[in-house]
Amino acid sequence: MNQRWRTIALWVLPIGVALFLGWQVLGSGPNRIGPSGPTVAPRNTAVARMSYGRFLDYVEAGRVTAVDVFDGGRSAVIEAVDPDLDNRVQRLRVDLPGLAPELVNKLKAEGISFDIHPPRTSPPVLGLLGNLLFPLLLIGALVFLARRGNGMPGGPGQAMAFGKTKARFAMEAETGVKFDDVAGVEEAKQDLQEVVTFLKTPERFTAVGAKIPKGVLLVGPPGTGKTLLAKAIAGEAGVPFFSLSGSEFVEMFVGVGASRVRDLFKRAKENSPCLIFIDEIDAVGRQRGAGVGGGNDEREQTLNQLLTEMDGFEGNSGIIIIAATNRADVLDSALLRPGRFDRQVMVDVPDIKGRLSILNVHARDKKLATDVSLEAIARRTPGFSGADLANLLNEAAILTARRRKEATTLAEIDDAVDRIIAGMEGKPLTDGRSKRLIAYHEVGHALVGTLVKAHDPVQKVTLVPRGQAQGLTWFSPDEEQMLVSRAQLRARIMGALGGRAAEDVVFGHAEVTTGAGGDIQQVASIARQMVTRFGMSDLGQVSFEAGNQEVFLGRDLMTRSDGSDRLASKIDGAVREMVQNCYAETVKLVADHRACMDRVVELLIEKESLDGDEFRAIVSEFATIPEKERFSPFLADAEPTTAPEPATAG
């Protein structure tokens, strides 16, 4: 309603000013003469003009029959007989020099009927109000626009509210989210439930001398539920709640960010006890004194004020700050010390139990077929965050509606998983030669991954293009890989090189394609980390990346290395030797199982997609598949922490 009245006022003010100006210029009253004649007259308005001299001639000639004088004797409308028009009466307008006594006497002497119409004057009060109307309208408009900037973003008076905080405030935040709606992060929920318990019953902690943390920092990858946890805290605590983003502190004007921090904590102290949630705090909390800006830029002044307000000379008891970031490594050390953010809560990617509980939450409003097992979906989606799982079920529901089904089946779930991991499905390949080459490439990946014991098992092989890839091979890890062995890393290198090795064995060295470009980049990255970070080469148990830091991460301005040029040459040689040895083993493995590969390629070209069980059944007819440690349903905690990365063919 206030917005509607403000809009009406913005239209009424300029219209009123325009009407007032027109009234002042043109005047008012029934007898005011304008440019085209009298505004109101007792007779019809004159249609022609006559000079004053000719009027006098008409009076002496006896042709004038009536005269109406207006505007204090400055104009008149006459009725005269024109002999040129068969003595018809004509109304004419005459400009008079003034109502002189001689003219009145002459009209009386000639017996001409005349009437003097005095101008109508408005009361003095109305004249005074008319003179004050425009200044009052102007002052009112300025005051209104100045006040408008405080309540409406983007208004002309916004400059007057630069120093005010932009935090959203709620006495009792009705977010619609409770702790029961948050799943998959049980450890984080336990830490945050203590915050809510302290706000509701602080005597439980103060009785034993405990103090609640002043700040809680939620750290984790994107999509793991940090903001959702903050909403749950707001919904459970029942205390005043402030929420804003770290980027809302910083403006282009110096001192605005610090002023907003002061205003935020001032309002928080007035509503204590309360909660303050700052999302993406790395936007304002990066390490000071780094980069090009030096130590006097606006962001650092804002951070200094934030540090002072959180734990400075004046206390802020009753104010609990909750912040979220996925870049805790770039935050200033003063921000992370005890007394400011006392507790860091890791919100990581969920394991199989967490994924199953998350799927149960998001499946409440979904219609699933009876044969759909949420546990099977949880096992197939290692590395998925809570946001990924919510998107998975939503994509499956969209596919269900598109296919005009009443409930989501396993087919929609599988297609949704493939779309999230690899992208939208493209048109099937029609070129026979290209299709066969891509089939050998993908079967090479899958065959090596199946025959190498330390490699993850094959989940799916397909020739259906998705995203930028013309063919895909998925490997699904079966256990929680917190630690990865040297044999597993070498197996991943061999699996990634399986596509190039298949092209080399089948089509010859001269016919290899660019389809292995992404695979080779992945191989180089793994091999270099084995040499420089993990000490898995002949160079010894030494890390050669201790001094390297990325640019603008809040520490070094430029990337640097502590090693010499000779050492860099040795590292390159060790990486090259490792990759060449793995490639030689991969080529031999593919060549020894050429018959098996040909059989699988023919079947893959015919069906275009093979799942892991079908693929292993065919391979088992030609070779002995090494026994791998499969997932056991009794070891529910054994789950991978990274999503399967498909090997792609160009």
Residues recognised as catalytic: 442
Specify whether the CB–CB gap between 165 and 268 falls below 8 A.
no
Number of neighbouring beta carbons within 10 Å of residue 454 = 18
Number of neighbouring beta carbons within 10 Å of residue 540 = 6
CA dihedral 404, 410, 411, 415 (to 10 degrees): 110
CA 122, CA 457: separation in Å to the nearest integer?
99
Number of neighbouring beta carbons within 10 Å of residue 100 = 11
CA 91, CA 50: separation in Å to the nearest integer?
10
Q: Which amino acid is at 447?
A: L
Half-sphere exposure of 378 (CA within 13 A, CB side): 26
Take residue 594 and report the two structure tokens written for it. Answer: 């050429």
Q: Where are the beta strands (DSSP E) in 159-290?
A: 168-170, 215-219, 241-245, 274-279
Largest CA distance in the chain: 141
CA dihedral 376, 378, 381, 385 (to 10 degrees): 160
CA 64, CA 312: separation in Å to the nearest integer?
98
CA 383, CA 477: separation in Å to the nearest integer?
10
CA 71, CA 593: separation in Å to the nearest integer?
117
Q: Give the helix/strand (H/E) hosting 217.
A: strand 215-219
Specify whether the CB–CB gap between 466 and 609 falls below 8 A.
no
Specify whether the CB–CB gap between 310 and 337 falls below 8 A.
no
CA 73, CA 102: separation in Å to the nearest integer?
13
From residue 174, how far is each of 171, 231, 242, 264, 447 by CA, in Å?
Answer: 9, 9, 12, 21, 55
Q: Where are the beta strands (DSSP E) in 32-190?
A: 33-34, 37-38, 48-50, 64-70, 75-82, 88-95, 113-116, 168-170
Specify whether the CB–CB gap between 226 and 324 falls below 8 A.
yes
Q: What backbone torsions phi and psi does residue 217 show, to the nearest 5 degrees?
A: -105, 120
Specify whether the CB–CB gap between 179 and 193 falls below 8 A.
yes
Cβ neighbors of 33 (< 8 A, separation 6 or more) are 39, 70, 71, 74, 75
User: Taken in order 500, 506, 508, 512, is the CA torsion positive or negative?
Assistant: negative
Q: Which amino acid is at 482?
A: M
Q: Give the helix/strand (H/E) hosting 359.
A: helix 352-362
**Pairing verdict, β 274-279 and 241-245:** parallel
Specify whether the CB–CB gap between 358 and 312 falls below 8 A.
no
Q: What backbone torsions phi and psi does residue 462 show, to the nearest 5 degrees?
A: -145, 150
